[in-house]
Amino acid sequence: MAGVSIATVSRVINGSASVRPDTRRRVLEVMEQSGYTPNAFARGLGLNTMQTIGILCTDSSDLYLAKAVYYIEQNLRAGGYHSILCCTGYRLENKKSSLDLLLRQKVDSVILVGSNFIEADDADNQYIRDAAGQVPVMLLNAYFDHPNVFCSLCDDLGAMRQAALSLIDSGISDILYLYNSRSYSGRKKLAGFRSACELRGLSETDGLQQYYTGSSADVDGIRAFIGRLHDEGLSFHAVIASDDILATAAVKYARLSGLKIPEELSVIGYNNSILALCCEPELTSVDNRLEEISRQLVKTLIGTLNGTAMPPSTVFPGRLVQRGTTALPDPVQSTAAS
Amino acid sequence: MAGVSIATVSRVINGSASVRPDTRRRVLEVMEQSGYTPNAFARGLGLNTMQTIGILCTDSSDLYLAKAVYYIEQNLRAGGYHSILCCTGYRLENKKSSLDLLLRQKVDSVILVGSNFIEADDADNQYIRDAAGQVPVMLLNAYFDHPNVFCSLCDDLGAMRQAALSLIDSGISDILYLYNSRSYSGRKKLAGFRSACELRGLSETDGLQQYYTGSSADVDGIRAFIGRLHDEGLSFHAVIASDDILATAAVKYARLSGLKIPEELSVIGYNNSILALCCEPELTSVDNRLEEISRQLVKTLIGTLNGTAMPPSTVFPGRLVQRGTTALPDPVQSTAAS
DNA sequence: TTTCGTCCATAAAGGGTTTCATTGGGGTTT
DNA sequence: AAACCCCAATGAAACCCTTTATGGACGAAA
């Protein structure tokens, strides 16, 4: 207005139609000196988007998921999107209602992080299909085959199989696989462990798959659990865990039992988190490429929103990072935790 | 419309003016069966708010800050607000531009989490004052005296003083205080440590304040750093660290040097994080009441947004959680990590 | 002179909220 | 019982601030 025009300002802001250079400059000048800022709500109303993505995370205080959220947010912002975070916990009802909340907020898409039970009772996943009817739905580290649902994940099964194979091929055949059955990824990795056993004809080691049912933060409880397994006669010379906390507890168990690591007990964790570095000795752990997975997810999302056809899923291979809790022949370099 | 009215629907939705009960019911009924959802953008335009709070976090992948963000989000959502997350890193420029981004997005308030350097060069804080001119600005665990700026924090200084006093009074006078000088809270806690030394006439122990300048995630580097300090002739029988990672490294140092914990070396960490439980022995650590601080912050925020006059700052006392790395007489109970 | 393009202004959505005016019913006064 | 008043409930319309479709003005090329 101060300058000369009215809706031309809009064209200047959005760079939509052609505006004569000096007109553009004049408008920008006035905008500058008057401190004008376009109203985001009105803009949203007109464009029907506020460039906002909903991140639906079960528990962003979890070490691993927090990193996921972090990477996602970074990439989203770099792509010009805002992230609205929503922590749902693990109860289905809360997930549903939070998702509704986000959709009512008119987010452009929803990213599900740390969603367990994706394959549990398939009827439980109807809410995902419903959401996919409205916006593209992105799944981090989970697979779900449905139109308008996109996934970016690590081949946890393969990575775990590889880790188990490494141990077996180094001569250790009694391996305790430790996981939390409530965790979808824990079960997925279990399949990888089983696969490795079968490949090497160790099917009789089935008895060495144990799940821990307590709180995943109760390190000492986990340690005691392992101790009880041993006392009950279970014999094992290696522990593979579905996350670094469980593995850390195994290391503590070994220390308190006087077992030498890795001579008498090898331990492999998962996620390659900071916990792996806090261990003494440092923990061998599987790096599941969280940063790459996250980046790819956002890349796929933005491509989709721009109308580009994107592959419905991308899978990255895992990577075993060897440190002090194993003595594997494989000359994998030790690397900083991700 | 389907029912009978037009703007009455608005009243029903907002519960603003009085609507006859049966009319309300009829409207709700139609809304239900027609699957009507008010358009969030239009709503925002009319009300000039979308009930959204910006969380400006330096690094939400940090164990401690991730928890902070988590608690804040939980409380905000319980209060009917959405959280838009923005990770800025530690560079001032990024903080400023991210804050602008949020304000342009018309958030109702901004919460700063993990903002170091709050008291560094005061000119650097102008952006906070500017923001406070537009919306209430909330500071988690930092103090800033300015109109429309509200703080909720733990008395880290006092808590650290108390921790140091406990050690000193148990007979240990050569204490190494370990921190990262880039961290605002690390310096604040240093003041607490100094205060304790002065109170007990231990001013000559000033030499025992050491800061580590490397990456805070490089546990082994920190351990080596402590080793060098020792090799250079520094003698200490206790380590107090400004976070649990540093303390964990101290424990690793002791183990590798063959020092018995706590007989030959006592260690106290800070934050009472999961790392404290992963340590062997478990780490004595200061709990700085993150959950309460966060809850109070959101409470203050929502009160302020509702027009209630709120205290500009609330301070919680810290709490020393004693575990295996100290042998203090103080009969404080061991507690689960927060 | 006509035609075509470029640049810009006018005006119509976009979908709610809110003020204001209207209606009607119940209680009070006479 | 009639007149009056007041208040609760509702509808009509202005408003919030952009975007975008439409069309007009103007200059250049044919």
Average pLDDT over residues A80-107: 96
Instruction: Say yes or no: A86 contacts chain B, CB-CB below 8 A.
Output: yes
Interface of B with A in 23-42 (CB under 8 A): 37-42
CATH number 3.40.50.2300 given to B156-288: yes
For residues B227 and B291, is the Cβ–Cβ distance under 8 A?
no
Q: Please give the angle made by the CA atoms of B121, B127 and B130, to the nearest 5 degrees.
A: 130
Write the single-letter amino acid at A180: N
Residue B229 or residue A6, greater confidence = B229
Closest Cα in chain A to B45 = A41
Q: How far is CA B114 from CA B100, B117, B118, B168, B244, in A?
A: 18, 10, 10, 30, 16
Give the C-alpha separation, A301 to A140, whole Å: 11
Interface of B with A in 164-223 (CB under 8 A): 217-220
List chain B residues with CB under 8 Å of A282. 220
Which residues belong to CATH 1.10.260.40 in chain B? Answer: 6-38
Candidates B161, B54, B187; CA nearest to B113 is B54
List chain A residues with CB under 8 Å of B80. none
Which CATH homologous superfamily contains domain B6-38?
lambda repressor-like DNA-binding domains (1.10.260.40)
Radius of gyration, CA atoms only, chain A:
25
Give the C-alpha separation, B338 to B325, whole Å: 18
List chain B residues with CB under 8 Å of A40. 44, 104-106
Quick: pLDDT tens for A61-82.
Answer: 999 999 999 999 999 999 999 9
CB atoms within 10 A of CB A329: 10
Residue A312 or residue A29, greater confidence = A312
CATH class of residue range B52-154+290-318 = alpha beta
Using a 7 Å cut-off to protein CB atoms, list the covered nucleotides of chain D. 8-13, 15-21
Give the C-alpha separation, A227 to A176, whole Å: 12
Report residue A1's pLDDT band, with 50, 70 and 90 as the boundaries.
low
Whether the CB of B256 is less than 7 Å away from nucleic strand D comes out as no
Contacts of A260 (CB under 8 A, 6+ apart): A254
Give the C-alpha separation, A274 to A114, whole Å: 19
Q: What is the pLDDT along chain B (338 residues), one digit of tens a residue?
A: 666 777 888 888 888 788 888 888 888 888 888 889 999 999 999 999 999 999 999 999 999 999 999 999 999 999 999 999 999 998 999 999 999 999 999 999 999 999 876 665 688 899 999 999 999 999 999 999 999 999 999 999 999 999 999 999 999 988 999 998 778 888 889 999 999 998 998 866 555 777 777 777 889 999 999 999 999 888 899 999 999 999 999 999 999 999 999 999 999 999 999 999 999 999 999 999 999 999 999 999 999 999 999 999 999 999 999 999 999 875 544 455 55
Single pTM value for the model: 0.94
Give the C-alpha separation, B89 to A295, whole Å: 18
For residues A79 and A302, is the Cβ–Cβ distance under 8 A?
yes
Nearest-by-Cβ selection for B105 from A40, A69, A280: A40
Find residue A82's DSSP bridge partners: A52
Residue A35 or residue A277, greater confidence = A277
Whether the CB of A45 is less than 7 Å away from nucleic strand D comes out as yes
Count interface pairs A-B at CB distance under 8 A: 152
Which residues belong to CATH 3.40.50.2300 in chain A? Answer: 52-154+290-318, 156-288
**DSSP conformation letters of A163-224:** HHHHHHHTT---EEEEE-TT-HHHHHHHHHHHHHHHHTT-GGGGGGEEE--S-TT-HHHHHH
Average pLDDT over residues A92-116: 95
Average pLDDT over residues A241-253: 96
Per the listing, tokens 């962003």 go with A60
Assign 3-class secondary structure to A247-315.
HHHHHHHHHHHCCCCCCCCEEEEECCCHHHHHCCCCCEEEECCHHHHHHHHHHHHHHHHCCCCCCCEEE
Residue A330 or residue A240, greater confidence = A240
